[in-house]
Amino acid sequence: MVLYLSYSFSHLALLGYKTRVIGKMMELVSEKHVKYILSVEKYFCLRRRIVFESLVMEHLRMNGAYWGLTTLDLLGKLQVVNQDEVISWIMECQHESGGFGGNVGHDPHVLYTLSAVQVLALFDKLDLLDIDKNEDGSFSGDIWGEVDTRFSCIAICCLSLLRRLDKIDVENAVNYIVSCKNLDGGFGCTPGGESHAGQIFCCVGALAIMGSLHHVDKDLLGWWLCERQVKSGGLNGRPEKLPDVRYLSATHGLSLLQYPGVKAIDPAHALPVDVVNRILIGLYQKGISPRYRPTCEADLSFPNLR
Amino acid sequence: MHGRPRNPSKPEDEEASAAKASKLRALQSQFLHNHHSKLYDKGALELSAKLLEINPEFYTAWNYRKLAVEHCLSQPGSDPESILNEELRAVEGALRQNFKSYGAWYHRKWVLSKGHSSVDHEMRLLDKFQKADPRNFHAWNYRRFVAALKNISEEDELKYTTDMIERNFSNYSAWHNRSILLSNLLKRKAEVFPKEKILSEEYELVHQAIFTDPDDQSGWFYHLWLLEQTVTKDAPWLISCWPASGSELIISDSKSASSCTASPLSSYFSDGRVEMPVILYFNQAIKGVNTSTVTVRSVFAESKDLVWRPLSLSNFGSAQAWVAFLKFSEVKIDYSMSYEVEVSLGDSSGIVSLNGCPLTHAFQSKFMVRFQQPDSRNTDGQNIGSISWEDSNFQNYEGGPEQCNIIPPCIQLKMAKDHEPIASKWQVDILMNEIELFRELLSAADCKIGKLTLARLLTALDTLMLYNDTSNSCQMRHTEEILALYTDLMKLDPSHSQYYREEHSLTFLRQVSCSKENLLRYCWLYRNSALSDSRNLVCLRLNNLSLARVGSIENLLWVQMLDLSHNELRSIEGLEAMQLLSCLNLSNNKIKSFTALDPLRHLKSLKVLNISQNEIGKHSVDTTRYLCSSPLSHTEASDWRRSGLCSTDDAQLSKYWEAFLVFRDLTLVQLGITGNKVVNEDFRSFLLKILPTLERLDDTNL
């Protein structure tokens, strides 16, 4: 799941930067970043050099595309990429079922479907998707039935971006995630699973999208998450584990830190704020009816109280 | 792979690596070919196994193997045992390469659910993995899966976690698993596993961990969980309501801008129709407050005509505070009479907590309502003066507690019918025991998490004792000690200082609001010299107190004028329950966005608001973006644009949609916004459009 985050590690390491954590300033040379990301994109597309490490990650190219392109957008440099090339490759990865695989020829899976949707959102090309064919509302990773809160969260993020959240029973989805809440306020991958920073990111994001953050014990979880920062300054994923840069994505972190020159990021959808606003706020302005149905009599009578 | 250092490569390594790469590339393309051609012969299967051994993350290969298994099983004369055994071998091969591979572990679960493998074999495999890495959560997850599948008892699993913990106290995964098992046992087998006994034993176990190594977090988190299990009552109950039981309300009706100048005993609303709120405040969020679960008996309206609304920032029909408005317009008012109103709930079932626990305690509140003859002098609505929050306009409230109608809920509860004490003896005993123990530990070692735990224990004890306190004056006995602990922690542990500041504020407010005497020290009379009548408004002044958070709202439901200026507030969550609030000062705080002001949307009586000198518009990142009702969180129940309003200026609306969501339902008369980065001519013109009732913006009369 978090292999895609290794991109942050590789591009930073190659550019010779030391990683620092949230709270300390980071040196960032945007030009070099952009050049590096583009060079990585190129050698995947054209397969000029066959390197073992890249082959081993071939199946998650879709995730890599999401990370690289979102980073570029946050740095305001999305236009340097050949948009048509990227989009045609993405559509090649789509299957009959509507889902997307990690690369051309790979089976569809929710993990890569989200990345595909996110990249299409960046390019404002969501209309390319024939929405009715996607997502039947289940939260397994794929037809083989692996259940994990990551998948619930991914599905919800996907549906939100596609403005189809009404296709699922939101309350049910919320209840499932809440059943994965643990003694420390965190979330695991299934009910009873240990709290893990990655899962927590997914679950909290999904609850946010479904307007259910009141289920999160903000104080307890906030305290627990802050404890992930160890003496060296790095972040670990669970108590008494080693810090790992996978829990810190450089540019997303910088965005949240409001580093000058980096666009703001929406943490729940993991996309730039202007992209999310365009999708969720923009459409409402056109008078399209909302996606949510009221659940109690009070909501229906609300207009009368004005 | 994670956690592996990246070393510069030597030429021999590069050659070997290139060879490895070519081999893998060939495997992968051959595999994809087999997969798409649906070839499931022995050679193809072996190829996939080889691929997975090198690269267990190649998920399509696991899918392929499942297809192959299904294909082979469907062949006549197939041997399921050997087919599935082969799968388990393939998984083991892959796990050797990466024992954290999601794909590998899931494949094993899938194979097992096809009805194969003995418990012993799986447990032995797990034992091997868990000995090698006791924190491997895949192994723990798989263990829970096998235990569920093979019906291994929770008691046996509990024993396993005890073994793991005794081997190493720092095994967070084991403690976590223990909390899961115990939760289930306490819930399902309460007779065999009484809470009192189990928790005492658990406390003893966790003490060993904590005293062995106070710096290790595992034991402390488990202790925190035990504390929660000790004090939390599952059942919901009513902790406060307004109007308070036994009170007498005087209601005045006026249309002038000075409508907010009311005496402490009255409240009124200037929207023509006279109505008053009835507020119910529970100890936790609940659902099911409606006309069949709550009855309001009065001459004014039929109980079944009332509409109960949850005062919540989300839209799922649950909240801690609920309100209904009682209208008087139908009845001819006799100004010499006092009218009785009775609110009762709990007689019928229907009110439940989010966990499904029903409300068991019944509650009744009786209060009187009297109407004051409208003053003819004040009917033309001239602008008598605006609210100015300067110190000179306030003077100490001289009325004694007996004259004042402010009755905090701790006394209310006792006025309600007799009920059993909410806290049991064993709970109090455990807390006192733990407190003594930690005071001792802290005298020897300066431990941040120890101090935090002690602060939490003291807070829990004070809260429990409060509900049992039958005397007339409530006191939170350990406030000074708790405040000192949090102040210490702010210095000792600066990375969490914001959290400690908030807890400090909450503790302080608990103390302030728990008794009449304490509250009165912060009550001031607002007297505007321009007013011709003698009515004055009582203001609760909580300014300049370094408050980082507001709390104890259940004790503050009566407040109509509130000064929270010159504090450190980033959020005003909880304020949505203060339905009587008509004048609010939030200037000079740390509010960073309009989404943080979301609770104000619920305050229909708010007329005067000051949010000047804050940080709205200063930050590009809005950290409260999802904590409010908005299209982003799919919690907007109606077309958020409200056709007819701002139909011409789409550009402004998309720029200021957060402000629009907060202000559109309010009928503000006076607003202060200067000193926020977002404010400019464009924004001001936008505000004037969406707040047609505004008479004063900052220093300008409109």
Q: What is the pLDDT of residues B549-561, one digit of tens each?
A: 999 998 898 888 8
Nearest-Å Rg of the Cα atoms of chain A is: 20
Instruction: Check B309 against A302: CB less than 8 A apart.
Output: yes
pLDDT of residue B641: 55
- Find out whether A90 and A100 touch, Cβ atoms under 8 Å: yes
Over residues A5-14, mean pLDDT:
31
Instruction: Check A290 against B639: CB less than 8 A apart.
Output: yes
Residue of higher predicted confidence among B91 and A303: B91
Q: Which of A169-183, A291-305, B58-72 has the lowest mean pLDDT?
A: A291-305
B238: helix, coil or strand?
A: strand
Residue of higher predicted confidence among B635 and B424: B424
Q: Are residues B280 and B180 both part of a single domain? A: no
pLDDT for residue B161 is more than 90: no
pLDDT of residue B330: 75
Q: Are residues B81 and B98 both part of a single domain? A: yes
Q: Which of A44-53, B9-18, B186-195, B640-649 has the lowest mean pLDDT?
A: A44-53
> Considering only CB atoms, which chain A residues are within 8 Å of B20?
52
Closest chain B C-alpha to A98 CA, distance in angstroms:
17
B519: helix, coil or strand?
A: helix
- Find out whether B173 and B140 touch, Cβ atoms under 8 Å: yes
Q: Are residues B650 and B569 both part of a single domain? A: yes
The DSSP element (H or E) to which A128 belongs, if any, is none
The answer for residues whose C-beta is within 8 angstroms of residue B190's C-beta and 6 or more apart is none
Please, which pLDDT band fits residue B488 given cuts at 50, 70 and 90? very high
Nearest alpha-carbon partner for B578 in B313, B253, B262, B323: B323
Q: Which of A35-39, B154-158, B218-222 has the lowest mean pLDDT?
A: A35-39
Please, which pLDDT band fits residue A24 given cuts at 50, 70 and 90? very low
- Find out whether B622 and B653 touch, Cβ atoms under 8 Å: no
Residue B464 covered by a domain: yes
pLDDT tens figures, A219-265: 777 777 777 766 665 566 677 666 655 554 555 555 555 555 566 77
Q: How far apart are CA B563 and CA A137, in angstroms?
A: 48
Q: Which of A253-267, B51-65, B185-199, B667-681 has the lowest mean pLDDT?
A: A253-267
From B362, B379, B396, give the residue that closes a domain. B379
pLDDT for residue B422 is more than 80: no
Instruction: Check A192 against B177: CB less than 8 A apart.
Output: yes
Residue of higher predicted confidence among B135 and B258: B135
> Considering only CB atoms, which chain A residues are within 8 Å of B290?
297
Q: Which residue of B has its CA nearest to A223?
A: B496
Please, which pLDDT band fits residue B547 given cuts at 50, 70 and 90? very high
Interface test with A, best of B6, B110, B185, B221 (most A CBs within 10 A): B221
DSSP lists the bridge partners of residue A100 as A94
> Considering only CB atoms, which chain B residues are within 8 Å of A304?
307
pLDDT for residue B52 is more than 80: yes
Q: Which residue of A has its CA nearest to B137?
A: A194
Residue B410 covered by a domain: no
Q: Are residues B163 and B247 both part of a single domain? A: no
Q: Are residues B327 and B432 both part of a single domain? A: no
pLDDT tens figures, A90-147: 888 888 777 788 888 888 887 888 888 888 888 777 766 654 333 433 367 777 777 7
How many CB atoms are located within 10 Å of the residue A107 CB?
Answer: 23
pLDDT of residue B384: 37
Angle at B168 between CA B229 and CA A192, to 5 degrees: 45
Write the residue in B102, B225, B634 that is nearest to A211 by C-beta: B634
Q: How far apart are CA B95 and CA B53, in angstroms?
A: 8
Residue of higher predicted confidence among B334 and B223: B223
How many CB atoms are located within 10 Å of the residue B638 CB?
Answer: 14
From B231, B252, B282, give the residue that closes a domain. B231
Chain-wide mean pLDDT for chain B?
81
pLDDT tens figures, B291-307: 889 999 998 888 888 99
> Considering only CB atoms, which chain B residues are within 8 Å of A13?
6
Instruction: Check A56 against B55: CB less than 8 A apart.
Output: yes
DSSP structure string for B19-69: HHHHHHHHHHHHHHHHHHHT--SHHHHHHHHHHHHH-TT-HHHHHHHHHHH
Please, which pLDDT band fits residue A49 given cuts at 50, 70 and 90? very low
Chain-wide mean pLDDT for chain A?
65
- Looking at the structure of chain B, the number of domains it has is 4
Q: How far apart are CA B66 and CA B208, in angstroms?
A: 47
Among the residues of B320-447, which ranges form H helices?
A: 409-415, 425-444
Over residues B183-197, mean pLDDT:
79
> Ramachandran region of residue B669, left (φ > 0), alpha (ψ -120 to 50) or beta?
alpha
Residue B216 covered by a domain: yes
Q: How far apart are CA B227 and CA B433, in angstroms?
A: 12
pLDDT of residue A179: 82
DSSP lists the bridge partners of residue B672 as B610
Q: Which residue of A has its CA nearest to B355?
A: A175
Instruction: Check A222 against B499: CB less than 8 A apart.
Output: yes
Instruction: Check A290 against B224: CB less than 8 A apart.
Output: no
From B231, B265, B297, give the residue that closes a domain. B231
Write the residue in B32, B57, B177 that is nearest to A3 by C-beta: B57
Over residues B189-194, mean pLDDT:
73
> Considering only CB atoms, which chain B residues are within 8 Å of A212?
314, 316
**Half-sphere exposure (Cβ direction) of B68: Cα atoms closer than 13 Å:** 28
How many CB atoms are located within 10 Å of the residue A17 CB?
Answer: 16
Domain at B265, CATH number? 2.60.40.1220
pLDDT of residue B533: 45
Instruction: Check A238 against B172: CB less than 8 A apart.
Output: yes
> Considering only CB atoms, which chain A residues are within 8 Å of B9?
none
| Burial (CB count <10 Å: 0-12, 13-18, 19+), residue B482 | buried
B366: helix, coil or strand?
A: strand
pLDDT for residue B98 is more than 70: yes
Interface test with A, best of B60, B184, B660 (most A CBs within 10 A): B60
Write the residue in A13, A101, A182 that is nearest to B176 by C-beta: A182
Residue B10 covered by a domain: no
Residue of higher predicted confidence among B57 and B233: B57
pLDDT of residue B3: 47
Q: How far apart are CA A250 and CA A246, in angstroms?
A: 9
Residue of higher predicted confidence among A85 and B347: A85
Closest chain B C-alpha to A192 CA, distance in angstroms:
6
| Beta-carbon contacts below 8 Å between A and B | 232
pLDDT of residue A255: 59
The answer for residues whose C-beta is within 8 angstroms of residue B86's C-beta and 6 or more apart is B45
Q: How far apart are CA A196 and CA B140, in angstroms?
A: 13
Instruction: Check B17 against A13: CB less than 8 A apart.
Output: no
Buried b vs exposed e over B561-600: b needs ≥16 C-beta within 10 Å? Answer: bbbbbbbbbbbbbbbbbbbbbbbbbbbbbebbbbbbbbbb
> Considering only CB atoms, which chain A residues are within 8 Å of B495?
226, 229
Please, which pLDDT band fits residue B74 given cuts at 50, 70 and 90? confident
Q: Are residues B168 and B38 both part of a single domain? A: yes
> Considering only CB atoms, which chain A residues are within 8 Å of B653?
285
Q: How far apart are CA B15 and CA A30, in angstroms?
A: 33
pLDDT for residue B439 is more than 70: yes
- Find out whether A170 and A210 touch, Cβ atoms under 8 Å: yes
Residue of higher predicted confidence among B669 and B646: B669
Q: How far apart are CA B323 and CA B241, in angstroms?
A: 10
Instruction: Check B654 against A281: CB less than 8 A apart.
Output: yes
pLDDT for residue B273 is more than 60: no
- Find out whether B222 and B178 touch, Cβ atoms under 8 Å: yes
> Considering only CB atoms, which chain B residues are within 8 Å of A280?
631-632
In degrees rounded to 5, what are phi and psi of residue B413?
-60, -40
Instruction: Check A50 against B634: CB less than 8 A apart.
Output: no
Write the residue in B141, B312, B626 that is nearest to A190 by C-beta: B141
Q: Are residues B192 and B217 both part of a single domain? A: yes
Residues in chain A: 306
pLDDT of residue B308: 93
pLDDT for residue B589 is more than 90: yes
> Considering only CB atoms, which chain A residues are within 8 Å of B632?
209, 266, 268, 276, 280-281
Buried b vs exposed e over B322-359: b needs ≥16 C-beta within 10 Å? Answer: bbbbbebeeeebeeeeebebebebbeeeebbbbeeeeb
Q: Are residues B348 and B286 both part of a single domain? A: yes
Residue B408 covered by a domain: no
Closest chain A C-alpha to B671 CA, distance in angstroms:
20
ipTM reported for the complex, 2 dp: 0.75
Write the residue in A210, A295, A298 that is nearest to B307 by C-beta: A298
Beta strands in chain A (DSSP E): 265-266, 271-272
Closest chain B C-alpha to A156 CA, distance in angstroms:
11
- Torsion of the alpha carbons at B78, B81, B84 and B85, rounded to the nearest 10: -130
- Find out whether B490 and B468 touch, Cβ atoms under 8 Å: no
Q: How far apart are CA B351 and CA B331, in angstroms?
A: 31
> Considering only CB atoms, which chain A residues are within 8 Å of B53?
none
pTM of the model: 0.80
> Considering only CB atoms, which chain A residues are within 8 Å of B6?
13
Instruction: Check B141 against A196: CB less than 8 A apart.
Output: no
Q: Which of A211-225, B20-34, B248-262 has the lowest mean pLDDT?
A: B248-262
pLDDT of residue B625: 73
Please, which pLDDT band fits residue B628 given cuts at 50, 70 and 90? confident
Interface test with B, best of A15, A104, A214, A235 (most B CBs within 10 A): A214
pLDDT tens figures, B464-486: 887 776 555 567 789 999 999 99
> Considering only CB atoms, which chain B residues are within 8 Å of A260?
none
Over residues A147-176, mean pLDDT:
78
> Ramachandran region of residue B246, left (φ > 0), alpha (ψ -120 to 50) or beta?
left
pLDDT for residue B171 is more than 60: yes
> Considering only CB atoms, which chain B residues are within 8 Å of A284?
631, 636, 639-641
The DSSP element (H or E) to which B525 belongs, if any, is strand B523-526
Give me the percent of chain A exceeding a pLDDT of 70.
Answer: 58
How many CB atoms are located within 10 Å of the residue B214 CB?
Answer: 18
The answer for residues whose C-beta is within 8 angstroms of residue B611's C-beta and 6 or more apart is B586, B587, B591, B597, B671, B672, B673, B676
For tokens 């009873």, the residue is A192
Q: How far apart are CA A251 and CA A37, in angstroms?
A: 12
> Considering only CB atoms, which chain A residues are within 8 Å of B313?
214
Closest chain A C-alpha to B317 CA, distance in angstroms:
6
Angle at B579 between CA B250 and CA B305, to 5 degrees: 80
Closest chain B C-alpha to A82 CA, distance in angstroms:
26
Q: Are residues B78 and B56 both part of a single domain? A: yes
Domain at B185, CATH number? 1.25.40.120
Residue of higher predicted confidence among A89 and B115: A89
Q: Which of A271-285, B359-373, B413-427 has the lowest mean pLDDT?
A: B413-427
Nearest alpha-carbon partner for B645 in B687, B616, B589: B687
Q: Are residues B189 and B57 both part of a single domain? A: yes
The answer for residues whose C-beta is within 8 angstroms of residue A44's C-beta and 6 or more apart is A54, A61, A64
Residue B181 covered by a domain: yes
Q: Are residues B226 and B247 both part of a single domain? A: no
Measured N-to-C along each axis, helices A197-209 and A170-178 cross at an angle, to the nearest 10 degrees, of 150
The DSSP element (H or E) to which B327 belongs, if any, is strand B319-327
Residue B111 covered by a domain: yes
Nearest alpha-carbon partner for B643 in B627, B623, B664: B664
Range of the domain at B291: 238-379
A56: its two tokens: 């081993």
Nearest alpha-carbon partner for B413 in B472, B461, B462: B472
Closest chain B C-alpha to A224 CA, distance in angstroms:
9
Nearest alpha-carbon partner for A218 in B632, B502, B447: B502
Closest chain A C-alpha to B232 CA, distance in angstroms:
13
Instruction: Check B36 against A289: CB less than 8 A apart.
Output: no
Write the residue in A109, A183, A273 that is nearest to B221 by C-beta: A183
Closest chain B C-alpha to A89 CA, distance in angstroms:
18
Q: How far apart are CA A23 and CA A232, in angstroms?
A: 13
Write the residue in B22, B621, B633 that is nearest to A209 by C-beta: B633
> Considering only CB atoms, which chain B residues are within 8 Å of A101?
60
Q: Are residues B552 and B682 both part of a single domain? A: yes
pLDDT of residue B303: 87
Residue B525 covered by a domain: no
pLDDT for residue A3 is more than 50: no
Buried b vs exposed e over A241-257: b needs ≥16 C-beta within 10 Å? Answer: bebbbbbbbbbbbbbbe
- Find out whether B432 and B458 touch, Cβ atoms under 8 Å: no
Peptide bond into B236 cis (omega under 30): no
